[in-house]
Amino acid sequence: MRNLFDSQLNTLHRKLIEMGSACETAIDLAVKALLEGNADIAHEAASHDREIDQMERDIEAICLKMLLQQQPVARDLRQISAAMKIITDMERIGDQAEDIGEIVPFLNGRTGVECEDIRLMAETAQQMVRSSIDAYVNQDMALVKKVISMDDIVDDAFDRTKETLIHMISSNREDGQYCLDLLMIAKYLERIGDHATNIAEWVEFSITGQHAKEE
């Protein structure tokens, strides 16, 4: 019975890694669309969101099957419970990557070059997503803490982006709509960082039985 459970757990881990990779790709496509001013690439991010939605349903089915068939206890149960919380955050990451892609066509080819911190936010958010899933698979508390600390990088970059955009609007009011669109993109990236942090906190729960927000 334990061998069957371990096999199912390995399948769950593999599916979570695949879903995390799809989230990274969706973020990458959305930001690439922005940096290149390419609406066609933006549409690809939407297709990845549909793939991520299907992955969420598939993983949820695996988790429910494990709960019903294996009746896991203690740490095994925490891993399955955490996985079901994690996929919810990853699905929302896919939604927000799609939201970024939907804004890009309205920028009329402008690329957000004025806000270097948007690229930093995207790169950091991608790394947070990747590392949070690695932390789950490897049950790595050190990596959990690293992901949570990286959220400060995203938040600080978001604050700098706001200041840059405020200055741009005060200098040229005709850029108002463009700046608001960039602010929305930055806000979506900031939320992606928050979701990656949520994932890390659920990983902590799977390892310790204690959720960070309960401390």
The pLDDT assigned to 215 comes to: 53
Please provide the DSSP assignment of 124-189 as one string: HHHHHHHHHHHHHHHT-HHHHHHHHHHHHHHHHHHHHHHHHHHHHHHH-GGGHHHHHHHHHHHHHH
Tell me the pLDDT of the chain (215 aa) as tens digits.
567 788 888 999 999 999 999 999 999 999 999 999 998 898 887 778 889 999 999 999 999 999 888 777 778 899 999 999 999 999 999 999 999 999 999 999 999 988 999 999 999 999 999 999 999 999 999 999 999 999 999 999 999 999 999 999 999 989 999 999 999 999 999 999 999 999 999 999 999 988 776 55
Q: Please report which helix (H) or strand (E) contains residue 70, including its range.
A: helix 39-70
Report how far residue 75's alpha carbon sits from residue 82's, in angstroms, rounded to the nearest whole number. Answer: 10
Is residue 53 within 8 Å of residue 91, measured between CB atoms? yes
The pLDDT assigned to 213 comes to: 65
The pLDDT assigned to 210 comes to: 83
The CATH code that applies to domain 2-214 is: 1.20.58.220
Residue in 91, 57, 73 with CA at minimum distance from that of residue 5: 73
The pLDDT assigned to 45 comes to: 79
Question: Model-level pTM greater than 0.85?
Answer: yes
**Domain locations along the chain:** 2-214
Q: Please report which helix (H) or strand (E) contains residue 198, including its range.
A: helix 176-208
The pLDDT assigned to 214 comes to: 57
